């Protein structure tokens, strides 16, 4: 059945999430399909940061650690994130970066499974997750840590008595394919292993239930679907049942049981707070808090339903408009198996993305040939999907992407 733009206009008119779009400061003339890499600026964030700079920092100065509860930011942000990922408020804290948090929790998991040294992941997992485990192996030695990469369909079979940890990204950053969190967690637990889930492409984009899945650990970033700003603080989750046993290696002062006692000896704080390290970055964590407030207001069932619909429509429209020239679909065709993005493959993928960006359609590229388009339901309209597909078809029809200006690779793709 042929899809028309009028069909999508009707969907926009009936969209219960449509009012959220006005909460973001989106430039005129831009179709923003890169929220899976960096969310746009919430309108409230600008005023909130101005108040923090002018009043809390400028007037109240150091008193703001208590008077304006700067010290509580990691826990407050963690509690907001907990509601999005099926966790209790005291199981999540905002801190550091995703990379650092992977290191902390992978090290903690390995220490909790003495005699086991294998961390299982999949080839093509997000590189920083793999790099952090490789760094642990370099630090501790191959007799203590081995990173074993196993193809996606063999992960369950790879669980064995030498496995300490299963480390996976819930929604694959490149393809958007969703792992069966509950099933894989159960397979790991059956052999006595622990699990660490990277939720960078899940949190705020689709319902996640860490408690129901019996997950052990999780990490995620704050700057994609949580709209916390570039380089926003990340978060980590430790199931309550593990909080006393999990000892992370970066024993900084904010993770101390009594930071302002200034003891020479480290004593870990009780609960999730022991996974803090250094002083929280107040400005960036405040920006994250504003993005989280918006995400917390949205109905995640509605978010997921619209996400799948946008993705399904985009796949159909690309095939309808581009015909034989359409890039190859890399993401699962079934929306239930796909995160909040659609990934396409084309030999000229980088240049095509650059041509689209020049037209105001912002997606991104991942080597060697993948074009990624984020379907962030809080601000992407159904008609945006139509217009983006039409631009893609026109770029391919005219060969516009072959222009020299679109060929040179930039530092960030």
Q: What is the DSSP string of 23-52?
A: GB-PPTT-EE--TTT-PPPBHHHHHHHHHI
Which residues lie closer than 8 Å to 244 by C-beta, 6 or more apart? 270
Q: What is the pLDDT of residue 311?
A: 98
Mean pLDDT of the chain: 97
For 161-197, the pLDDT digits (tens) are: 999 999 999 999 999 999 999 999 999 999 999 999 9
pLDDT of residue 295: 97
pLDDT at 1: 79
For residue 58, the SS3 value is coil
Q: Which domains are delineated in the chain? A: 5-17+300-406 (3.90.1150.10), 49-297 (3.40.640.10)
Q: Confidence band (pLDDT; 50, 70, 90) for 264?
A: very high
Digit-coded pLDDT (tens) for 18-46: 999 999 999 999 999 999 999 999 999 99
Helix H or strand E segment including 105:
helix 98-112
> What are the Cα distances from residue 38, in Å, to 82, 191, 230, 397?
21, 38, 7, 29
Structure tokens at 167: 């480390």
* Confidence at residue 413, expressed as pLDDT on a 0 to 100 scale: 85
Model confidence pLDDT, tens digit, residues 346-363: 999 999 999 999 999 999
At residue 88 the predicted structure's pLDDT band, cuts being 50, 70 and 90, is very high
Interval 397-406 mean pLDDT: 95
pLDDT the model gives residue 32: 98
Q: What is the pLDDT of residue 408?
A: 87
Average pLDDT over residues 63-75: 98
Residue 173 pLDDT? 97
Average pLDDT (223-245) is 98
Q: Could you tell me which residues come within 8 angstroms of residue 402 by beta carbon, excluding any fewer than 6 positions away?
A: 348, 351
Residue 387's pLDDT is what?
A: 98
Beta pairing class for 163-169 and 146-149: unpaired
Residue 132 has pLDDT above 90, yes or no: yes
Residues taking part in catalysis: 126, 198, 223-224, 372
Closest of 8, 19, 11 to residue 299, by C-alpha = 19
Q: Taking 90 as the threshold, does the pLDDT of residue 226 lie above it?
A: yes
What pLDDT score was predicted for residue 325? 86
Q: Which residues contact 28 (CB under 8 A, 6 or more apart)?
A: none
Query: pLDDT digit string (tens) for 299-348?
Result: 999 999 999 999 999 999 999 999 888 899 999 999 999 999 999 999 99
pLDDT, mean of residues 109-122: 97
Read off the pLDDT of each residue in 107-115 and give the average, rounded to a whole number: 97
Q: Which DSSP category does 166 fall into?
A: E
357-394 pLDDT, tens per residue? Answer: 999 999 999 999 999 999 999 999 999 999 999 999 99
How many helices (H) and strands (E) the chain has is answered by 12, 13
């Amino acid at each position: 059945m042929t899809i028309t733009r009028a069909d999508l206009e009707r969907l926009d008119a009936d969209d219960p999430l449509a009012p959220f779009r006005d909460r973001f400061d989106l430039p005129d003339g831009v179709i923003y399909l890169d929220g899976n890499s960096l969310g746009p600026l919430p309108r409230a964030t600008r005023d909130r940061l101005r108040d923090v700079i002018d009043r809390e920092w400028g007037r109240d100065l150091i008193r703001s650690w208590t008077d304006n509860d700067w010290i509580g930011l990691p826990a407050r942000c963690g509690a907001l994130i907990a509601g999005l990922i099926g966790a209790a408020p005291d199981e999540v804290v905002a801190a550091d970066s995703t990379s650092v948090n992977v290191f902390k929790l992978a090290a903690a998991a390995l220490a909790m499974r003495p005699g086991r040294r294998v961390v299982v992941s999949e080839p093509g997992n997000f590189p920083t997750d793999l790099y952090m485990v490789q760094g642990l192996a370099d630090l501790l030695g191959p007799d203590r840590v081995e990173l074993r990469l196993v193809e996606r369909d063999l992960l369950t079979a790879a669980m064995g008595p030498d496995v300490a940890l299963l480390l996976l990204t819930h929604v694959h950053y490149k393809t958007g394919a969703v792992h069966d969190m509950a099933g894989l967690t159960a397979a790991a637990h059956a052999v006595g292993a622990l699990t660490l889930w990277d939720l960078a492409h899940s949190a705020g984009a689709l319902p996640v239930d860490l408690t129901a899945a019996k997950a052990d650990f999780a990490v995620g970033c704050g700057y994609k679907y949580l709209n916390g700003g570039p380089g926003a603080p990340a978060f980590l989750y430790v199931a309550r049942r593990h909080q006393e046993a999990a000892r992370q290696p970066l024993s900084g002062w904010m993770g101390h049981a009594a930071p302002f006692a200034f003891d020479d000896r480290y004593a870990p704080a009780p609960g999730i707070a022991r996974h803090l390290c250094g002083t929280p970055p107040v400005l960036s964590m405040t920006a994250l808090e504003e993005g989280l407030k918006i995400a917390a207001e949205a109905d995640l069932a509605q978010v997921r339903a619209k996400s799948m619909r946008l993705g399904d429509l985009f796949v159909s429209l690309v095939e309808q408009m581009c015909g034989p020239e359409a890039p190859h679909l890399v993401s699962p065709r079934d929306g239930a198996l796909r995160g909040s993005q659609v990934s396409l493959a084309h030999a000229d993928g980088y240049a095509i993305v650059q041509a689209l960006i020049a037209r105001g359609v912002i997606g991104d590229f991942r080597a060697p040939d993948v074009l990624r388009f984020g379907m962030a339901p809080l601000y992407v309209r159904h008609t945006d999907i139509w217009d983006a597909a039409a631009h893609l078809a026109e770029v391919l029809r005219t060969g516009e992407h072959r222009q020299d200006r679109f060929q040179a690779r930039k530092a960030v793709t």
